[in-house]
Amino acid sequence: MYDLYSFENGKLNRDVKSLIIKERVCKSSLVPSKLPGLNYALNPYRGCEHGCLYCYGPSVLKTRRESWSTEIEVKINLPEILKREVINKTGVVGIGTVTDPYQPIERKYCITRRSLEIISRSNLRASILTKSDLIIRDADFIARMNDAEVGITITTLNDDFAGQFEPHAPPPTKRIETLKKLSDLGINTYAMIGPILPIVTEDQLETLILEIASTGIKRVMIDKLRLRPDMTKTLISCEVMNDPRFREEFFNKMRSDSFYQRIQWEIFKLCKKYQMILEKAF
């Protein structure tokens, strides 16, 4: 059992909750993917310590949202299964399509690292998505892989908003630093602004795009917030949602296609201003 941590104002603080780790044996590692640009998906863990309130993982895997960030399953034999499954396979493997492959428990188990080592010796290419600066641990290795790419998710520069909506993920400053370190190593790196959170992502929007551009990356992806059946209760648990005006504006914008069209256009103009390409994730 491990303690969970949270960031407040950019500082690491201990949370009162505990994390239950379950080691389990999996039967397969690579799952065919329908996501654009990906042939397979690989998720070393089930559940995610970051506890983002907008996470679609519980809905996709049909599991309880209440335990998603407090009970983490480690697929301890996944690298051994992967060794057999990569034979004669080609294409792109999305690593972290449902859970973050560099969540804190990866420090102990290194399932992601071991999986990347196997993929590096195959005809597959890796596409990694994470919020964590832990990926820097493997950056030198990733830089030597064949055409690997890394996406770093960042939804806001506001530490207070990030601390409420992404309570156990590294703070925005760490993610900006990670983008720069990966870019400096020559790794094909992009920023994922996803999901776009009404009010939250709008806060300091130009500064956010400028900070991303300052890292040296040339590509930004965006995705909208898609409300899942069990997500509303989690979202309204945020302290900021106690303000009825914030809550009403947030959900009204979230349900509005015109809002996403407007914010997408604003991000497009800013990316063009700072010489970056904008792409839709899905």
Q: Name every residue whose Cβ is closer than 8 Å to that of residue 29 and which is 6 or more positions away in sequence.
A: 42, 75, 78, 79, 81, 82, 85, 115
pLDDT at 18: 81
Residue 271 to residues 212, 213, 268, 277: CA-CA distances in angstroms? 9, 8, 5, 6
Question: Residue 237 is encoded by which pair of tokens?
Answer: 């648990």
CATH architecture of 21-280: Alpha-Beta Barrel (3.20)
Q: Is the pLDDT of residue 268 over 90?
A: yes
pLDDT at 5: 41
- Positive/negative CA dihedral, 127, 131, 134, 136: positive
pLDDT at 229: 81
Please state the rounded mean pLDDT for residues 22-26. 96
For the chain, give every domain's residue range. 21-280
- Return the percent helix, strand and coil in the chain, to nearest 5: 40, 25, 35
pLDDT at 230: 83
Q: Is the pLDDT of residue 21 over 60?
A: yes
List the helix and strand counts (H, then E) for the chain: 12, 12
Residue 33 host element (H or E): none
Burial bucket for residue 217 (CB in 10 Å: 0-12, 13-18, 19+): buried
- Count of other CB atoms within 10 angstroms of residue 278: 18
Q: How far apart, in whole angstroms, are the C-alpha atoms of residue 277 and residue 201? A: 18
pLDDT at 52: 96
